[in-house]
Every structure is written in structure tokens, then in C-alpha cells.
């Protein structure tokens, strides 16, 4: 056996899988949840220590489940939520809670940065993408403006997965995929961009605090010190360079060559593909990220998927079985109710100050079943909006590899197939980002990107294959057009610009 651990530090929990890579067998899966610091002004933060505590808890659970000793683990790969800001002082101590990808408190700072860069197109020309509210850059400007004494203490700027790598190894480093989502990075040249850093902090302190960049097959280091003791690992456990959760999810679904499309129905929603060249942006909402497999990864992100459905589920005090039954009870179109689920603002379309709203209610359609279907449809239509942007950019979407919590629902899988009008299928291992960590850790062990390892560890679950139903496609098309009309009426300046 050669046991490798994959870790996915998400918004709601940290998950750990243990894989015997010699036999391509998953030995264990475990998770530990995180708290969330939240405020109505858009603040979404977490203490980085919570991620460490959850990693240790989930890792310990996974070892017990697998019935193995920690000393059998040979390598670890870390996936982390993108865009989060972790700032450390000169002693390597966390200065303040990490602002997360879903934090929209910094929307004014993002608008200010875009203006300083000369506007949307100038930003794309310089960095290869449009910076968005939620990216790391605006968080840094916010910190400088709102808490200058904390900003002055910054010695290192890290993303969430970089911080976990640092805790494990004592090494500061970043990799191209996650770094490309900061707004501080030139995605075409694959390097930090000093010009945008200087707009935030002309002293050079910020630019000098950015970690060195490493490619996908390189190592972050070896597990050492307190982390080694706490996890019970041996002296030679390799940590791969890791990546953002979407980039690692791409690896974990086999999306490492042209022509494969992955969609995640997680807290947020994403749809992305691989490209061996930077993509020409037909629309600024397409994020032209780098991949964590040394290519590029054009991506669309919506900020409200299971986070939105969970709000309705909790409001109605339903368990998951009741929620799914309500979804099945309501007809396609939710009785002509349209729900814009922008509870966390929205990235695609670009509505950082957007709010959730329900339209079309009347005495006949206002019931629990329709409300449940309306929120699931609303989240799905937001992804359809993004899929159409990718199709308009020349990206074929003929089959979607579906991951995330929502992918476990046969009803939601059928909805995605019908709304997108293409086949949907799930990987056998649903924890795709954690599996991506396992695969990338194997690359680090061998010092090379080996697609044979991808083929060996990524398998598709034929039992989940879901084809669109023609009659449903037509019904959803009508409901989607109603969604677009409602969206345009609610946000005419932003959507119709």
C-alpha cells in the first residue's frame, strides 16, 4: 500500500480522504465543520485556527475509520477555498480573521481598484481577467483603509490552502492556480503583478509579502514540528503545492485536458474546463484562471447554490428528505415563482450588492413546495447564465461532470441536465477537490505531472448518468426566460449594461 491523504478546506467544513494509490481504493472519508463569522454588511470571515482544528479532527477520524496508523501516510495534498485573505506578521502569527471568498464587505474597494486600473477592459488587458468582489486584492485595500495598524504588521500574505501548507511545513509558497484568483496576478505571464500591488501599497511592503510561486508537480515541503507531532506522521511525509478548491476539483474529476467540463453544486456554484492556452475573454465574467495542473482554467462562479437552498430548508425546518420531497411535489417552474437567490450578493452576473428576492407570488402558488423548487431552480438558472457565457466563448458543453453536495440529489441532477440541455454524470469519488489533492500529492512524490495517475484514480459513476428530457428542456427554457426577464427588471443598469 501507498497511502496518500487529500484535504479539502472548504467554507463549511474540512474534509479528508485517505487513498491507497496502489490499488486506487478510498480507505476513508471524514469531515469536521467550521464556524462562520457573518454580518449583514457582507462580512464573511473565519479564524484560520478553525481550519487547523478541523483538519486534525477529520484526519484523526479518517485514520480510525480506515484502521491504519498515521505513520503509513506518505504524502498530503491540500485544496482550499479560493480568494481568502490570511495575513501573518513577522513571527508567522495570524494578524486577524481571514476574509473569505464570499465576503462582499469589500465591494467599494473592488470598484476603487477597477477604477485605478483604468476600468474593466484595462484590467483585463493588464491581468488577463476582471478583478471581482471576493478576490483577495480588494480585501487588502479594505484592510489598509479600515485597519491600517493591522496592515502595517503584514509580513506574509497567504491564501487558505497556502496557510495550511505553511502550518504543515513551515514553508511560505503559492501555486499558479490559486494565485490567479487573487487579483494580484498576471494570468497570462503566470507571475505576481507589481503594478496592481503598488496601487494598493506603493511602499512595496505588499509585493514583498507575496510568497514565491511553484508549479503543480513541485512540493510545498515536508511535514515538520508541531503539525507532525499532532498528526502522528513520520519524518518524510511530502506536502504537494496544493491549490484552490475549484482547481483541485478539476484534477479530481479528470479535467486536466481540453474538452472536459466540471460543475460544482456546493456552497457556491462553479463551472469550468481546462485549456492548454489562455482563453480569449468574450465576456468579463469568465474568470481566466490558471489550473493547478499547469494549464489554464476558464471558470464561471455563482455565489449562491447550496448556501441558498440551505437557507430555505432551515427556514421551513425541513430535513433533507422532506426538502427533496417538496422539490418533487412542485412542478417545473415552481408555479410561476421566480427566486433570485442572491443572499451573498452575486458574482455572475456581477451583483456584489445584490440581495435575495421572490417574484410572482400569489394566493394560489404560495406554498412550501413551490418555495423549495424556486430556490433550487434559481440557483440552477444562475449556473445556466454562466454556461451560456462559456458557450458564447466557443467552449462546448456536451457533458457535465457534476460534483458537490447538490450532485447527490437525483432530482437536482435531472434538473441540471434539463436546464443545461446536456448529459450529466458524477465521478465515483464525490470529494473531487480532496481527490485532486491526492493526485497532486502523487505528482509531488514523482516530481512530474502524470496523467496515468489521473486515469487510475478518477472513474465516472455510470449509475448517475442523466440525460435531458426533451419535454422538460422546453419547460425549463420558458422558466429560464422568465428568470432573465425578472433579473433584467430587478437590476436593469447592471444586467442590461
DSSP-assigned beta bridge partners for residue 263 = 271, 402
Helix-, strand-, coil-residue percentages of the chain, each rounded to 5? 40, 25, 35
First-to-last CA distance in the chain?
57
Average pLDDT across the chain, whole number: 95
pLDDT in tens, 335-368: 999 999 999 899 888 898 899 999 999 999 999 9
The DSSP bridge pattern shows strands 13-20 and 213-214 to be unpaired
- 15 within some domain: yes
73, three cell numbers: 501516510
Asked whether residue 207 is domain-assigned, the answer is yes
Give the pLDDT score at 122.
95
- Number of C-alpha atoms within 13 angstroms, CB side, residue 135? 26
* Residue 355 lies inside a defined structural domain of this protein: no
Burial pattern 403-416, b for ≥16 Cβ within 10 A else e, equals bbbbbebeebbbbb
Which residues constitute the domain of residue 154? Answer: 3-245
Could you give the CA distance from residue 469 to residue 380 in angstroms, rounded to a whole number?
16
- Whether the predicted pLDDT of 326 surpasses 90: yes
Domain contains 301: no
Report the domain count for the chain: 1
Please, what's the b/e burial string for 226-248 (b: 16 or more CB within 10 A of its CB; e: otherwise)? ebbebbebeeebbbbbbbbbbbb
Asked if residue 308 belongs to a domain, the reply is no
Is 158 part of a structural domain of the chain?
Answer: yes
Confidence of residue 497 (pLDDT cuts 50, 70, 90): low
Residue 411 lies in a domain: no
Residues 266, 82 contacting (CB under 8 angstroms):
no
The three grid cell numbers given for residue 36, joined into one nine-digit string: 462562520
Active-site residue identified among 8, 178, 193, 245: 245
Question: Where is average pLDDT lowest: 98-102, 173-177, 283-287?
Answer: 283-287
| pLDDT greater than 70 at residue 496 | no
Asked whether residue 388 is domain-assigned, the answer is no
All 3 cell numbers of residue 332? Answer: 417545473
CATH of the domain at 190: 3.30.420.40
Residue 310 clears pLDDT 80, i.e. is over it: yes
pLDDT value at residue 63? 98
H or E element at residue 227:
helix 225-231
Of the CA atoms within 13 Å of residue 23, those in its CB half-sphere come to 7
Q: What pLDDT, on the 0 to 100 scale, is given for residue 107?
A: 93
For residue range 124-145, list pLDDT tens digits in order.
Answer: 999 999 999 999 999 999 999 9
Residue 369 annotated as catalytic: no
Residue 279 above 80 pLDDT? no
Over the stretch 35-53, which tens digit does the pLDDT of each residue have?
999 999 999 999 999 999 9
Amino acid at each position: 500500500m501507498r497511502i496518500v491523504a487529500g484535504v479539502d478546506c472548504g467554507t463549511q467544513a474540512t474534509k479528508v480522504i485517505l487513498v491507497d494509490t496502489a490499488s486506487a481504493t478510498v480507505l476513508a472519508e471524514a469531515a469536521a465543520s467550521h464556524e462562520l463569522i457573518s454580518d449583514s454588511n457582507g462580512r464573511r470571515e473565519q479564524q484560520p485556527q478553525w481550519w487547523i482544528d478541523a483538519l486534525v479532527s477529520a484526519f484523526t477520524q479518517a485514520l480510525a475509520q480506515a484502521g491504519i496508523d498515521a505513520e503509513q501516510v506518505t504524502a498530503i495534498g491540500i485544496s482550499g477555498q479560493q480568494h481568502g485573505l490570511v495575513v501573518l506578521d513577522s513571527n508567522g502569527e495570524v494578524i486577524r480573521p481571514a476574509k473569505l471568498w464570499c465576503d462582499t464587505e469589500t465591494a467599494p474597494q473592488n470598484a476603487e481598484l477597477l477604477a485605478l486600473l483604468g476600468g474593466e477592459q484595462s484590467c483585463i488587458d493588464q491581468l488577463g481577467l476582471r478583478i471581482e468582489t471576493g478576490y483577495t486584492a480588494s480585501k487588502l485595500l479594505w484592510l489598509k483603509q479600515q485597519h491600517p495598524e493591522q496592515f502595517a504588521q503584514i509580513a506574509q500574505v497567504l491564501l487558505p490552502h497556502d496557510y495550511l501548507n505553511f502550518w504543515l511545513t513551515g514553508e511560505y509558497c503559492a501555486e499558479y492556480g490559486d494565485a490567479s484568483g487573487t487579483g494580484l496576478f498576471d494570468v497570462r505571464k503566470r507571475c505576481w503583478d507589481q503594478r496592481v500591488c503598488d496601487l494598493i501599497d506603493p511602499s512595496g511592503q505588499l509585493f514583498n509579502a507575496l510568497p514565491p510561486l511553484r508549479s503543480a508537480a513541485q512540493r510545498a515541503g515536508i511535514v515538520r514540528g508541531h503539525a507532525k507531532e499532532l498528526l502522528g506522521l513520520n519524518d518524510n511525509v511530502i506536502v504537494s503545492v496544493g491549490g484552490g478548491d475549484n482547481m483541485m476539483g478539476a484534477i479530481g474529476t479528470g479535467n486536466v485536458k481540453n474538452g472536459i467540463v466540471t460543475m460544482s453544486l456546493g456552497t457556491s456554484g462553479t463551472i469550468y474546463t481546462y485549456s492548454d492556452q489562455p482563453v480569449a475573454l468574450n465576456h468579463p465574467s469568465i474568470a481566466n484562471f490558471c489550473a493547478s495542473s499547469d494549464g489554464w482554467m476558464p471558470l464561471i462562479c455563482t455565489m449562491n447554490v447550496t448556501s441558498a437552498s440551505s437557507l430555505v430548508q432551515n427556514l421551513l425546518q425541513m430535513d433533507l428528505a422532506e426538502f427533496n420531497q417538496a422539490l418533487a411535489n412542485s412542478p417545473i417552474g415552481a408555479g410561476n415563482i421566480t427566486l433570485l437567490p442572491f443572499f451573498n450578493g452575486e458574482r455572475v452576473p456581477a451583483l456584489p450588492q445584490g440581495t435575495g428576492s421572490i417574484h410572482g407570488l400569489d394566493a394560489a402558488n404560495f406554498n412550501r413546495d413551490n418555495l423549495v423548487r424556486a430556490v433550487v431552480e434559481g440557483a440552477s438558472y444562475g449556473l445556466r447564465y454562466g454556461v451560456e457565457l462559456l458557450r458564447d466563448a466557443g467552449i462546448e458543453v456536451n457533458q457535465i461532470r457534476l460534483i458537490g453536495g447538490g450532485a447527490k440529489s437525483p432530482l437536482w441532477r435531472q434538473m441540471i441536465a434539463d436546464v443545461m440541455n446536456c448529459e450529466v454524470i458524477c465521478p465515483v469519488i464525490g470529494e473531487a477537490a480532496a481527490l485532486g489533492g491526492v493526485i497532486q500529492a502523487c505528482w509531488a512524490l514523482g516530481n512530474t505531472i502524470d496523467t496515468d495517475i489521473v486515469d487510475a484514480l478518477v472513474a465516472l459513476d455510470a449509475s448517475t448518468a442523466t440525460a435531458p428530457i426533451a419535454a422538460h428542456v422546453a419547460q425549463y427554457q420558458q422558466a429560464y426566460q422568465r428568470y432573465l426577464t425578472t433579473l433584467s427588471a430587478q437590476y436593469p443598469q447592471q444586467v442590461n449594461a
